[in-house]
Amino acid sequence: AVVSTQSTGVNKCEVMSAKYMEIYKIYQEGDPSHRLKLYKQYGRARIEDIVANIESYKWLEENSKECPECGAMIQLGPGCNKVQCSVCKGYMCWLCGKALPKSSPYSHFGNGGTCHGKLFEGTREEWHDEEEDEDDGFDVYFDEFEALHII
């Protein structure tokens, strides 16, 4: 359950600076004449880059979490709350953000683990389309983890 979003190559501090946020606000809230003024002052391509970068960072902040090992942004995909970073290959718990041991990442969700019984919490309903008639095999894994007292 992992989708890692690597660096965009743009400095986050620069993109989210007060100056760029002001330009973004004018662009979003202003009428066409305001946008035209921005294009003339900074160039259309630059304004479009600023808007796209700010929207990308906002999306990342709302939909991803930082890998505790390397800092790469990770998006939760279909599956469980144990996610693996595609950059450093480390494991983390999506729920609490803790790094998990590579030798036994599921122990975090087992008896005595910090997130005991929460391996699939919040994920099964979100990613499992109940209207699909085909068997995606998800229930088999769910039953196996349940038998191991991980969920």
- Catalytic residue numbers? 80
Report the side by side order of strands in the sheet with 3-5. Answer: 3-5, 73-75, 64-66
- Cα dihedral 87, 89, 91, 96 in deg (nearest 10): -10
User: By the 8 A CB rule, do 72 and 80 touch?
Assistant: no
3-state SS assignment for residue 75: strand
The CA distance from 27 to 35, in Å, is 6
The token pair at 25 is 């606000």
Q: Write down the H helix ranges in 30-137.
A: 32-42, 44-63, 124-127
**DSSP 8-state assignment for residue 79:** S
